[in-house]
Structure 1
Amino acid sequence: MAANLNADEEMKSVFAPSRRRIDVQSGALVQHPDGVFRIDEVLDFDTVTATSLESGRIQMLRIGELQSIESVSDVMDDVDIDAIDADDWRVAQSRYAAVKPLLEPGAQSRESVELRAKELGISPATVYRWLQRYRSLDAVSGLVPFQRGWRSGNGRISAAAETLIKEVIECFHLTPERPTAQKTVREVQRLAHERGMVLPSGTAVRARIERIPEYERMRRRGEKEKAKNKFSPTPGVSPDGKYPLSHVQIDHTPLDVMVVDDVHRLPIGRPWLTVAIDEFSRMTLGYYMSFDAPSMTSSGMCLAHAILPKEQWLMLHGIEAQWPVWGRPKVVKSDNGSDFKSSSFKKSCALHGIDLAVRPKGSPHYGGHIERLQGTLLKELHDLPGSTFSSVAHKGEYDSEGLAVMTKSELEKQILMLICNEYHRRKHSALGMPPLRKWEIGVFGGAGQPPRGMPARPADRMTVYLDFLPIFERTIQADGVSLDNIRYYADVLRLWIGAKDPGTGEARKHIFRRDPRDISCLWFYDSESKYYSKIPMANQDAPACSIWEYTKAKEEIKKAGFDPSDQKAVFQSIGKRRAMVQDSAQKTKQARREAQRRADHAKAVNPADPLASQRRAPAKDAPPKPSLAKLTPPSGLATSVSATDDIA
């Protein structure tokens, strides 16, 4: 993916993130190439009618051509979550709790707002303002106060005070005796006084308590069964999937098909598939396919793919189909995998207002929808050449490797066709209708289901991509920044060399993000300018490689008795290994698999710009290429779905 970012001349090296969204609802103001319009009616998943504010004429507009209008000037849409102070984040969460009952469709009447304002002891104008700011981003970050400058984790208290608060929370607050937050504050301040420290404020202590997930707090404080009942659905029932994107399940599975490499067409193994499903409609929201084992990257890229519109993705793979799914899930349910529980993934979800619900141990029903989808997809692949089937007994004497003929990209196209043209359009046994029809009912209403409305589209694709990459915090030295013993440098870092944190007086840590499939560059978040900048390796002669390839080279250098921190030796090893892999690719499956994995990483598709690798700079006299938005959309509406086969 990041390799494409380096190769594509159109991809900017300096990027201003924006988490604004395009509200596709009647009455919403939107930007269009023809001017500013007010949406009159949403006709279907592709088209709206809208009135031009300049001419007053009514036009039909394609949804894919709409852009957001910067109507809310005081929303922090350009801030990375690690750049938000803990106290400010607590305020944002309390504001979200205040307006949450009013976010459901039909719940924003004047009477409801005034009643809620009276309950909270604030003015209705304040409630309306919070509602507007939340809707501008559809995320809690839209409610962050505007007092910028302090960073989360490097706040207004000393490192010693941070350690003390953590100690008291662990040993005093998170106990079966369940002391109140106020008692915990007093205990922190008592110990701080005994140790001669500046007393931390009650706000600081409460903010750190609230960072602990509610399920974890309840479990540690002797309310395990209560937590399980609150956060676990009953077997066979999903009561919370009441509308599209309300609850989403995500999981990984190895595919039951042997694939061959692109060059020699010889077998290299089975790829992994990470997939997300909407509980309400059973629509497949997004996926990620790779030879890499499940990781935070798999989960993050799958979720980013689920949030983003799919028009360009279908064009990339040459699929003529409708996949009208985009938008932020409210709750994402997963198993107990380390990738889902990683701090980086949690922060990425929090930044987009997505709540994470980890499957409690011993509750297999919790992920029933995603497991049935995986089973359906795997079963449909069993008639492909190279199938490994579902078990050794079922496979029998079938030679999966010997009969494998499909490359990873060819298998991916098969899966896309299966999802869009078959699974989404066949009658679902539990729904009594196709998932695509159920999704349409959830959005537009019908069959007793109130309309939820079209999900808001992200205004900026690149921001979604960056938000779901792994996060790192590093100090900046005179020679740049170090990550995994690799030096990165660009002039934009010069301003921050030797910078001190104003709260602690220690070296200031900055936010970086990196795609592990191409570690040739980092993305640096400048907390002052609110921009991301691409930072290349200081060693410009080093080859672009993935983190797994780099780690493998370091291991081999160490086994040979040399210093693995010698960057020159490591990158030389990578070059030699690549040459050896190419020489032996026709001999062994493992070598072919490594070569194919490296090739996939080099051409990995960026969900923010899927067609980047297909674009080339036009000739000087060549006419400009037509906008992707003006290409003819896939035909067929969800109302035309008709099939008779039931699916699980």
Structure 2
Amino acid sequence: MSRYRIQRYCGRNTAMTDDGFTIDRAPINLSVGSYVLYLNEEYKIKEVIDFYTVIGQSLTTGRLVSLMVKELRSVSADDSSRVNIDLTEVGDDDWKTAQHRYSVIQPLLKLPIYGRKDVEARADEVNVNTATIYRWLKMYIPYGHIMALVPRKRGRNKGSWQIEFAREKLLTTVIDDYYLTKQRPSIQATVVEVERTAKLSGITPPSASTVRKRIMALPEKDTLWKRGQKEKAKNKFTPAAGKFPNADYPLAVIQIDHTPLDIILVDDEYRLPIGRPWLTLAMDIHTRMIVGYYIAFDEPSETSVGMCMAHSMLPKEEWLATYDVHASWPVWGKPVTVHVDNGADFRSDNFKRSCGAYGINLEFRPVRAPRYGGHIERVLGTFVREIHRLPGTTFSSIKERDNYDSEKHATLTKSEFETWFVNLVCRVYHNRKHDSLGMSPLQMWERSVFGDASCPGIGMPPRFSDSQKLILDFMPTVYRTVQTFGVKFEGLLYYAESLRHKINAIDSQTNKKQKFIFRYDPRDISKLWFYDPELKQYFPVPYADQSLPKMSLWELKLVKTKLRDKGSESINKHQVLDALTDMRNVVDNAAKSTKRARKQLQKRKEHEKKSTPMMTVDNPVTENESSTLYDTSNTDSANIENPLGLLYDVDEYGDIC
């Protein structure tokens, strides 16, 4: 291959180059009437068929075309530079200002419909000018991201969209007095009205695309309300009541939790037992759909939480294809609230800030009140009971295990187990009737999104168009100056040509060497991701010494500990290389005889795979292995709905929350 490296991830193929990539946080709005790009041509969505197909009308030819949702892209907003920067580039004062602005408008955003009286009441309550609140709403709504509320530096940004005051006032007036009326004129008619009014005023009219994009940016709730469709607005945006507080519609509240799985897995090479994996699971409370997960041998950490969050928010077509699972998992989008326990991994500053940047409310359970995590713990219990049916299970207690030798019967690798687990989630759990819902989670999800005769749907959630940026937003961050030798991280040196123009750069405000943002994946520290604040792009920065092998952060820390135990005060790259080689040789040689060594070896392999929601591992199991794991050929008709031997009632005890 050339310098281009194709990465596969959910819903999109992106060519990654050494030249880096530009941030794009604008979500893809999939509601009827919104505009999208398909093969670089702009379409207006006329009808939503299902989770995978919409009907779009070409703005060029007027033809109606069936469009695949996963191939759609967002129409770039004119002021996208406001949000397309790294989260950590924002100073503490600006971040506090953005948070304050969001706290002011948040109660209005939660209302099904808000009018001028609501805005004025909120303005009086917080002592903020009404026009200011409208301005903040206008800034936030097109992106749904708190970065849109960060104060802008004075002066015109390069590429920003501005028109003279007279044209701005004319455009606003026509939209308010002509488009947002009960006569419901079309967008094209509004464009003509703008041109007519501008001609009468003797000024140059804004372009048709400018008019269209301004209208696109209007909140749909307000548009329906002001154009005389109040009942439709109420039906679409007023959620039905639910049992869990505020979990009244899909993605209103998701819960995340971890658990060690009651099964011994084997390594890929020797197929000998290595230990139990950890599962991080995310579930939507309203529909009981599993929205995302992450399985690893590492104990829960900031990385596992971030991977689970990203998997929850991204589409999953490629993920299913990778694990050869022939099922539907039509779940994506940004949750309103994430409900978690009080673990340190959930309370990390980076996770809090990442959630805040996406406008996600992070809610912690009350201390010593486990009942508040009942939904996620119950579904974890359901999955754990199913695992007790697999070879190599450890069961839940010594008494239950009795004389069963878990290690002797262990047969599944991590990849094989993950294939089984995805099948369990998508083909069984999602389709099994849930007592609390009166239907299956998948049916509840579809009903809540598309609606039916008795329940209006909320519409499909926007899809994220920049999956890699979403992943990086939840990765750990460090700040480093760029020296002549490059950048130092954990004692290792990194360099790339993208750093050259930042060597010994001076911060104009502090008159000291400027510190830049670098993000990293703890599972593979062979490269960092450098964020260029001027270009607003990320660039990969590999080891300065390319002879160093890939390694995880935990391996590097083991190497440092070993060298310090030998009395080495300073650590150089040759010592690291030699120590790492020795350690891996020990592990490789001991792999057949000791479980701990096999587990270390398998962890290293899993880290090297670096499977993420945006870049899945290639062929984790073969087609034959997958069919063996999920063979329904011998299933009789009586058990056709229960091919994995799932306990019949998914939630046999009902809700406890």
TM-score bin, normalised by smaller chain:
0.7 to 0.9
CA distance in 2, matches of 1:35, 1:115: 43
| 1:493-512 paired onto structure 2 within 5 Å | 493-512=499-518
The Cα shift of 1:456 comes to 0.7
1:189 corresponds to which residue? none
> Quick check: 102-111 or 367-376, which moved more?
102-111
Q: Is the 8 A contact 2:339 2:365 kept in 1?
A: yes
Pair 597,78 (structure 1): closer, same or farther in 2 beyond 3 Å:
same
The alpha-carbon deviation at position 479 of structure 1 amounts to: 1.8
Give distance in 2, aligned partners of 1:72 and 1:61.
24
Give the residue type in structure 1 aligned to 2:36.
Answer: V
Deviates more, 1:4-13 or 1:360-369: 4-13
Question: What are the residue-to-residue correspondences of 1:396-411 with 2, within 5 Å?
Answer: 396-411=402-417
Correspondence for 1:540 = 546
Cross-structure match for 1:243: 249
% same residue: 44
Residue 83 (structure 2) aligns with: 77
Do the aligned partners of 1:555 and 1:564 also contact (CA within 8 Å) in 2?
A: no
Is 1:292 the counterpart of 2:298? The answer is yes
| Residues 474-504 of structure 1 deviation map (CA, whole Å, 9 limit, x = unaligned) | 2222222221111112222232233333333
Aligned twin of 1:579: 585
Is 1:44 equivalent to 2:36 in the alignment?
Answer: no
**Cα distance, 1:142 vs structure 2:** 1.9
Q: What is the deviation of 1:53?
A: 1.1
What is the match of residue 63 of structure 1?
Answer: 69
| Cα distance between partner residues in 1 of 2:433 and 2:6 | 44
Counterpart residue number, 1:557: 563
Post-superposition Cα deviations, 1:252-284, rounded to whole Å, max 9, x if no partner, equal: 111111111111111111111111111111111
1:133 has 2:130 as partner: no
Q: Give 2:604's match in structure 1, choosing from 581, 598, 602.
A: 598
C-alpha change, 1:495 and 1:75, in structure 2 (3 Å) is closer
1-side partners of 2:38 and 2:504: how far apart? Answer: 45
In the alignment of these two chains, the number of paired residues is 532
Answering whether residue 38 of structure 2 is matched by residue 32 of structure 1, we say: yes
CA distance in 2, matches of 1:246, 1:501: 42
Question: Alpha carbons of 1:292 and 1:338: their partners in 2 closer, same or farther (altered >3 Å)?
Answer: same
- Amino acid paired to 1:12: T
AA in 2 matched with 1:541: S
Partner of 1:53: 59
Amino acid paired to 1:410? E
The one-letter amino acid paired with 2:557 is: T
Q: Specify the SS of the correspondent of 1:441.
A: helix
Q: Tell me, yes or no, if structure 1 residue 146 matches structure 2 residue 149.
A: no
Q: CA 1:443/1:97 → structure 2, altered by over 3 Å: closer, same or farther?
A: same
Report the Cα offset of residue 73 of structure 1: 2.4
Alpha-carbon contact 1:105-1:452 (below 8 Å) kept: no
Does the Cα contact within 8 Å between 2:83 and 2:145 map onto a contact in 1?
no
Secondary structure of residue in 1 paired with 2:307: helix
Secondary structure of 1:383 counterpart: coil
The equivalent of 2:314 in structure 1 is 308
What residue in structure 1 maps to residue 650 of structure 2?
647
**What is the alpha-carbon distance in structure 2 between the residues aligned to residue 277 and residue 341 of structure 1?**
19
CA distance in 2, matches of 1:431, 1:148: 53
Match of 2:82, SS? coil
CA distance in 2, matches of 1:11, 1:35: 23
Say which is worse superposed, 131-140 or 98-107, in terms of deviation. 98-107
Match of 1:248, SS?
strand
Partner of 1:369: 375
1:416 counterpart residue number: 422
For the pair 1:331 / 2:334, whether they are aligned, the reply is: no
User: What is the alpha-carbon distance in structure 2 between the residues aligned to residue 60 and residue 600 of structure 1?
Assistant: 39
What is the SS of the residue equivalent to 1:401? helix
CA distance in 2, matches of 1:27, 1:105: 22
Aligned to 2:16: 11
Rate the CA distance shift 1:45–1:299 in 2: closer, same or farther, 3 A. Answer: same
* Aligned-partner Cα distance in 2 for 1:5–1:514: 19
5+ residue gaps, structure 2: 9-13, 156-241, 621-639, 652-657
Match 2:354 to one of 345, 348, 356: 348
Q: TM-score, normalised by structure 2?
A: 0.76
- 1:445 and 1:280 map into 2 onto residues whose CA distance is 14
Letter of the 1:434 partner, please give it.
S
Is 2:137 the partner of 1:100?
no
Residue matched to 1:528:
534
Structure 1 unaligned blocks of 5 or more: 150-235, 616-640
Correspondent of 2:486 among 480, 485, 500: 480
Kept in 1, the 8 Å contact 2:340–2:365? The answer is: yes
- 1:269 matched to 2:272? The reply is no
Shift of 1:411: 0.3
Q: CA-to-partner distance for each residue in 1:429-488, whole Å, 9 max, x for gaps?
A: 222221111212221234754422211100111111111111111222222222111111
Give the Cα separation in 1 of the matches to 2:17 and 2:359. Answer: 27
Query: Aligned equivalents of 1:545 and 1:358: distance in 2?
Result: 34
Q: Does structure 1 retain, via aligned residues, the 8 Å contact 2:498–2:539?
A: yes
Query: Does the CA contact (< 8 Å) of 2:119 and 2:130 recur in 1?
Result: no
Amino acid of the residue matched to residue 411 of structure 2? V
Question: Deviation of residue 548 (structure 1)?
Answer: 0.9
Aligned letter for 2:315?
A: P
In structure 2, the CA distance between the partners of 1:71 and 1:110, relative to structure 1 (3 Å rule), is farther
Aligned counterparts of 1:417 and 1:260: Cα–Cα separation in 2:
20
Match of residue 384, structure 1, among 378, 384, 390: 390
Is the alpha carbon distance of 1:476 and 1:34 closer, same or farther for their aligned partners in structure 2, counting shifts above 3 Å? Answer: closer
> What do the CA deviations read for 1:215-273 (whole angstroms, capped 9, x no partner)?
xxxxxxxxxxxxxxxxxxxxx95212111111111111111111111111111111111
**Do the aligned partners of 2:264 and 2:273 also contact (CA within 8 Å) in 1?**
yes
Report the Cα distance in structure 1 between the residues aligned to 2:89 and 2:265, rounded to whole angstroms.
43
Q: Give the structure 2 partner of residue 452 of structure 1.
A: 458
Q: Is the 2:6–2:15 Cα contact (8 Å) retained in structure 1?
A: no
Q: 1:427 deviation in Å? A: 1.3
Deviation of 1:338 after TM superposition, in Å, equals: 1.2
Aligned partner of 2:614 among 608, 614, 619: 608
TM-aligned CA deviation for residue 525 of structure 1: 0.9
SS in 2 for 1:59: strand
> What is the one-letter code of the residue matched to 2:16?
M
TM-score normalised according to structure 1 size: 0.77
**How many angstroms does 1:116 deviate by?**
6.2
Q: Identify if the C-alpha distance between structure 1 residues 132 and 469 changes in structure 2 by more than 3 Å, giving closer, same or farther.
A: same
Compute the displacement of 1:368 (Å): 1.2
- In structure 2, what is the equivalent of residue 252 of structure 1? 258
Q: Assess, with a 3 A threshold, how the Cα gap between structure 1 residues 7 and 237 changes in structure 2: closer, same or farther.
A: closer
CA spacing shift, 1:21–1:437, aligned 2, 3 Å? same
Question: 1:34 Cα shift?
Answer: 6.9
Aligned partner of 1:135: which letter? I
Quick one: distance in 2 between partners of 1:5 and 1:370?
A: 38
Q: For residues 362-387 of structure 1, give each alpha carbon's deviation from its aligned partner in whole angstroms, at most 9, with x where no partner exists.
A: 11112111111111111111111001
Distance apart, 1:106 and its partner CA: 4.4
How far is 1:418 from its partner? Answer: 0.5
